[in-house]
Each structure stands twice: as structure tokens, then as C-alpha cells.
Structure 1
Amino acid sequence: MKRLGIAAMVLCVCGMSAMADQVTLKNGDRLTGTIVKTDDKEETLLIKTELAGDVSVKWEAITSIVSSQPLHLALKDGQTIVGTVTTEAGTFEVTTKTTGEVKAAKENVTHVRNDAEQAAHDAEIYRLQHPRLTDFWSGLLDTGLSVTSGNSSTMNFTLAAKAARVTSRDKISVYTTAVYGKNNATDPSQTIAHEIRGGVRGDLNVSDKVFVFGFTDFGYNALQHLDLQNVLGGGMGYHAIKTARTTFDVFGGGSYNQEYFSAYTLPTVPPTSFPSMTTKNGEIVIGESLDSKITSRTTVSENFTFFPDLSNTGNYRYAFNSNITTKLKNWLGWQVTFNDNYISNPPTGLKGNDLLFATGLRLTFGKGVF
């Protein structure tokens, strides 16, 4: 009985070994376990072993693979062959269910995955091709603050936030900017800046170079007595440059601009009062945008949009925004921003330019865009 038990244990161990995958290295070592996948970045093969856990070996160090489970071998020509693998004279021999034995040279294999990893890979590819609205968002939060006291007493605060969802097919952007400044040296204290702008834009690629877009923008400016600006527009654009480091787009279209100004009084002698006013204008939209990664840590972005007024020929407005950011950490950076919003026909007695120069910290989340 004792001999019978020992024999049974030997058969069991041999059976387990026979059912496992085996990888042979150039130095003659052999690893037995379950082949999981190759790592493209590290150029390694991951094997789950019973005693050593997960083991990664260099792909170039492997001379032979024998698998008891089906493996998915992706080739340089785009084909994928599936089946159990043996190795003969440095060539992988894959026993498939449909075409029998297929040979593949090791240097022609780009990926190796087991069934579970292939299913996960296919699911990720499907997600990339059919993303949900909640997928692929990234964003930023820019902050700037200055405070003075003593002979002067002021406080200035800037805040900008942006989120974007970018896929190979489309892009959705949501953005807002707020500026607030106060002079506490006067009695009563005086607001010296109070402006909020924001909007939503969607871009849809109709080809590798051509895209269509639509947007809506909102604005408020207390010192310009602008209670609400609402712009709705759209058009077509062209990807003039689209590389891993730089994108440069030009675009054109049309928009409908509505502005609601409140009544105000100028401090003239005697004071001059002006009634509330509403303007509604059709506009042409002409613009460009640039995003470039100039070093591994520094990025530059800039966009300029020009809006000639179709309802009142000769009037126009433009918006110019630029930013340079240097990363301090993956989620933290230092940014410098310059914005210029201009209208050629401001309310009587008020200025048409609103300039902003700000610097401060940038917080980011997500991957890819910022």
C-alpha cells in the first residue's frame, strides 16, 4: 500500500507538470507554470508559477515555449493565431482548431496572451472604439492668489477649470474662468475685478484632417455691466498639424451672440445714467488653436478666435488665450496664463479690453490632455 501511495503521488506530480506551460531560457533554466502575457513596454513574458509567484523573463532570453493551454500569438502582419504551442528549432508551432498546425518565427511574434488576457484586451479595444460618456476624461484646475496689506490692502483671485474627453472620433470640452479683485483700502471697499466666463464645445472628426464643431459660451462681467452673454455657434475645422507632441487646428463657422447689459451711471459731473441694453448679433467665427509639448515637462497652449459682426458691419470682438505650464509632479504644475477679451463697441464710457495675466499652481487629473 505504501508503494502504491508513492506511485500515485509521482503520477499526480507528473500529471500536474504535464498540464502546465513550460518556458526554456538560453541558459538552460526552465520555468513551469501558466503563461499569462507579454509586456510590450518591458519586452518580457509573465508566467504564474506555483512556488515563485509571478515571474517576468526577458523575451529575448526565451528559446522554447510549450503550452498546455491555448495561447493567442499576434504576428507582425496583423494576424493572430490561437492554439497550444510547442517549439521546434526555434520556431513556434501552434496547433489550431481550424487550420491545424501553423508555424511562426519568434521574431515575428509581437504579443502572447492566454484566453483571460486576450478577453481583457478585446474588451479594452471595444471600450476604446465604443467609449461611454464617462470614459477618458481628464482635467485641470488653475489657481492664482495675491494679497497685499499695509499702505495698500488688496486681494486678487483667479480660478480656471477645464475638463476634456478625447477619443479618436470626437472631443468634448468644458471650461470656465473666474477673476475677482477687491481694494480694501477704500471705504467702502471697492470691487476692481469680477468676471466669469465658461462654455462647452464638441468636436467630431469626419476624416483624419477635417472636423465639425459646435459650442456655447457664457459670460458675466460686473465692471462692464454685462449681466449675461450667451453665444451659440459651430462650423468646420482642419487639423493642420496632428502629431504626438503638437496639434494645430484652424476653423471657421458662424455664431449667434446675445448680450444683456444692466443700467449704469458714470461718475461724471453731473452723473450720466444709461439704460439697460440688449444686443443680438450674427457673427462669423474664424480661429486657430495650438497645443504643443516643447519639453518632457513643459507644454504651451494658445487659441485665438475672431468674431466679425454681421448685424452691425465694422464691429467685432475677439478672444485670445495662452498658457505655459511646467510639471512639478504628475498631478501638479506651475502655470502662467494670459487672456485678452475685446469688443469694439463697448457700452458708452466703458473699455473694450479685459486683460488677464495670472500665474499659480495647476492641479490635473486623468491622462492624456493636460
Structure 2
Amino acid sequence: MKRKTALLTAAIALVSAAMPLVAQSAPDVLTFTNGDKLTGKITKGTGGSVTFHTDMAGDQAVDLAKIKSASSTTNFVLIRKVKKTVARVRDLETVTGKIKITDGKLTITPDQGAPETVAAGDIAFIIDQPTFEKQVHQKTPLWKGWTGPLTAGFSSVQSTQTSITFTGAAALVRTMPSLPYIATRNRTLVNVSETYGKQTTPTIPPTTPATPDTIVKTNLFHADAERDQYLPERNLYMLGTLSYDHNYSSGLNLQQIYGGGIGWTPIKTAKQTLDLKGDVHFEMQQFIANSGEPDVHLFGSTFSEAWTYNLPKKMVFTESGNYIPGWTENSVYSANATAMLTLPVWKQLAASVSGTDSYISNPAQYYKPNTYTVTFGVTYTVK
């Protein structure tokens, strides 16, 4: 009898311990005004809509006016609309609690306090409490918080001539904090791209003794990193930057740039972003060994712009350009421009087409100053 009592007590204890876990994982239920239902989780909200996640349909933005009833099982932070972006978290008007939507009206119930109904026009954003606390009060590790596309393309030809071409690129951005309506403190950008090709052509007709095959290599490499530190309550920021370029097509073995300057973001909306930048830097150019060209050391500047535009159907167009004049060597300057269009395919995968034009005023002897590349590839967006 005692043994049965002990087993019963243990079973009750296990069930009691498991109940909070069951309650915590309980799904949210959203009912539309037409009676249809979705089972999943409310994840966030913007303006007059909330995003509802289901395992089958993924994320769906639903207007509050179309919701008959919905409620969250976890706490959210509701940020009220303000006239401008604020620099400090304490300047935000927030309410924390569980949200409930009834006939298109949203009510938030704090853990302590009376429920409050908030008009759709007064809602800026709704963010789950753990994400808000992590962004505001915790330090994000360096390897987290990165977003941006990773692109790759490959081609191979096997015939009388053989050739192989590989292209790859990464354009990653880390913005802190990433919460809307809170001014950006800092931003880190890392860009890497490479186009490598090798073509082998045999001597036709063959000779005796045999003439070695003709091998032509293409190798274009670019890498840069930038750290932006934003000024309080402004779209201006101080920046530090470095970049490395390698281009066999212009006889350039390595170009290095190290500098600092100032940037401005005149446009920053959900649809598009425009950045304008300028710096003063030290620049060094080294040409391929057999060109006979001397190394170049100079001071110069980089004037650049970068534009991102969100098109319909989740298509994204990005474009950037740089003009790099030399101040201590007026005859030395370079420029480059890139444009890319991504078309969504499935979840975070997209097809992409991009074009890059690079120019250098002082290529190695017998090399052309201009290099143009077009890339068709597959893009994966890091989130």
C-alpha cells in the first residue's frame, strides 16, 4: 500500500511539474471575421497588423480589422507611435503584457495593472518581450545579429577547350540595436566577393615537340569592412574602413585602403535606404611581378553611395558606387559600381543577377583599365 501511495505521489509530482511546460508551449489561436482559424504563434506586430506564424503556412501578416479574436500566451512589448526615432530606450512609450484582439481592437494586459485598449493608429511595433530585453539590456555576441545575402554561381565546360568559372559574394550587415524606433548606435558591414576562372586551350594542330597548352586565368577579389558609430539622434555617423582588391585583368596584384570619414543616411524607410559616405585614407597599389610597374603609395578619398530598394513580390534591388581619387598622385584614381536584383524562390533562397564595373586609371602595361562582370547565381539570405 505504501509503495502504491509513493508511486501515485511521484506521478502527481511529475504531472504538476510538466503542466507549466505544457502551458508554455500552448499555441495561440487566431479566428478571422469569416470564421476561419489559424493555430500557431503571434510573433510580432507593425502598425495595424500582426504577424502570425504557423508550421504549414509560415509567417502571415494579418490586419487587425480582419481578426475576430486572438490572444497571446506570452508577454509582448507594445511600442506606441512617436513623431521621430528616439536615441534612448527610456524615451519610448511602451506597455508590456499579454495581448488580446477582439473584433479588430487590441487590448494589452500587464502583469500588474488594468487592461488597456490601444487604437491601431497608435501602435508602432509589437515585439516579444525576450527579444526586446535582449536587444536593449544584453550585449549581443559578435557572431550574432548578422543579416544579408550570400551568393554563389558556378560553370564548367569540358571539350577541346576546358574552362571553369566560380563566383561568390557575401554582403553582411550587423546593426545594433535592430529594434525599430530606437536610433542605431553602431553598424558593422562586411563585403567579400570573388570571381575565379581558368581556361585551357591546346595548340592546334599539335606540334613536335609539343607546345604547352595556353592557360588563361581570371581572378577578381574584393573584401572590405566598415564600422559605423552613429551620432546621437542623427542620421550622421563616423566610420572607419579598410578594403583589399586583387584584379589579374588589370595587372593589379593588391590594392589596400585604410581610412576614416563620415556618413549620412538621408533616406531610411521600410521600402528603401540610401547611404552617402566620404573618407580620407592611405592607399597602396602593388602590380603583378612581371609587369615592371612600381608600387604606388598615396593619400586619397573614397566618395560612395549605397541604395537598397524593396520591390513588389519581395524582390530587392541593391546598387552601390565608389569614386576613389588620389590627392598626392592626381593621375591615380579608380571607380566601381555594382547592381544586383534578387528574386525570391523559396523561403530564404532567391535567384539573383548582378553586374559589376571596375575601373583603374593606371593599369599595368598592356592591360585594360576597365573590368566588367555579370553573375547569375543563387542567393541565400542570412537572418
- Shared fold, TM over 0.5: yes
1:352 aligns with 2:369: yes
1:154-173 mapped onto 2 (5 Å cutoff): 154-167=163-176, 168-173=184-189
Figure out how many residues of one structure are paired with residues of the other and give that number: 286
Q: Are 2:43 and 2:128, in contact at CA under 8 Å, matched by a contact in 1?
A: no
Q: Are 1:182 and 1:189, in contact at CA under 8 Å, matched by a contact in 2?
A: no
1:283 CA drift (Å):
0.9
1:176 aligns with 2:186: no
1:361 aligns with 2:370: no
Q: Within 2, Cα distance between the matches of 1:236 and 1:169?
A: 15
Identity of aligned residues (%): 20
Q: Within 2, Cα distance between the matches of 1:95 and 1:275?
A: 74
1:190 aligns with 2:190: no
SS at match of 1:296: helix
Q: Within 2, Cα distance between the matches of 1:323 and 1:170?
A: 25
Q: Are 2:76 and 2:129, in contact at CA under 8 Å, matched by a contact in 1?
A: no
SS at match of 1:133: coil
1:130 CA drift (Å):
4.7
Which residue pairs with 1:203 in the alignment? 228
Which residue pairs with 1:295 in the alignment? 312
1:201 CA drift (Å):
1.2
TM-score normalised by length of structure 1: 0.65
1:147 CA drift (Å):
2.3
SS at match of 1:326: strand
Which residue pairs with 1:313 in the alignment? 330
Listed as ranges, the gaps of 5+ residues in structure 2 are: 1-40, 52-65, 82-92, 98-106, 177-183, 203-211
SS at match of 2:322: strand
Equivalent in 221, 238, 249 of residue 275 of structure 2: 249
Q: Within 2, Cα distance between the matches of 1:177 and 1:158?
A: 8
Q: Are 1:254 and 1:285, in contact at CA under 8 Å, matched by a contact in 2?
A: yes
1:132 CA drift (Å):
3.5
Equivalent in 122, 141, 145 of residue 136 of structure 1: 145
1:145 aligns with 2:162: no
Amino acid at match of 2:262: M
1:239 aligns with 2:265: yes
1:334 CA drift (Å):
0.8
Q: Are 1:140 and 1:364, in contact at CA under 8 Å, matched by a contact in 2?
A: yes
Aligned in 2, Cα 1:314/1:131: closer, same or farther, shift over 3 Å?
same
Report which of the two structures shows the higher radius of gyration computed on alpha carbons.
1
RMSD of aligned Cα (Å)? 3.9
SS at match of 1:123: helix
Aligned in 2, Cα 1:73/1:145: closer, same or farther, shift over 3 Å?
closer
Aligned in 2, Cα 1:149/1:250: closer, same or farther, shift over 3 Å?
same
1:40 CA drift (Å):
5.3
1:263 aligns with 2:289: yes
Amino acid at match of 1:174: V
TM-score normalised by length of structure 2: 0.63
Q: Within 1, Cα distance between the matches of 2:145 and 2:79?
A: 29
1:322 aligns with 2:342: no
Aligned in 2, Cα 1:81/1:283: closer, same or farther, shift over 3 Å?
closer
Q: Are 1:263 and 1:277, in contact at CA under 8 Å, matched by a contact in 2?
A: no
Listed as ranges, the gaps of 5+ residues in structure 1 are: 1-36, 45-57, 63-70, 83-91, 112-116, 265-273
TM-superposition CA deviations, 1:54-83 (whole Å, max 9, x none)? xxxx99659xxxxxxxx999696936499x
1:280 CA drift (Å):
0.5
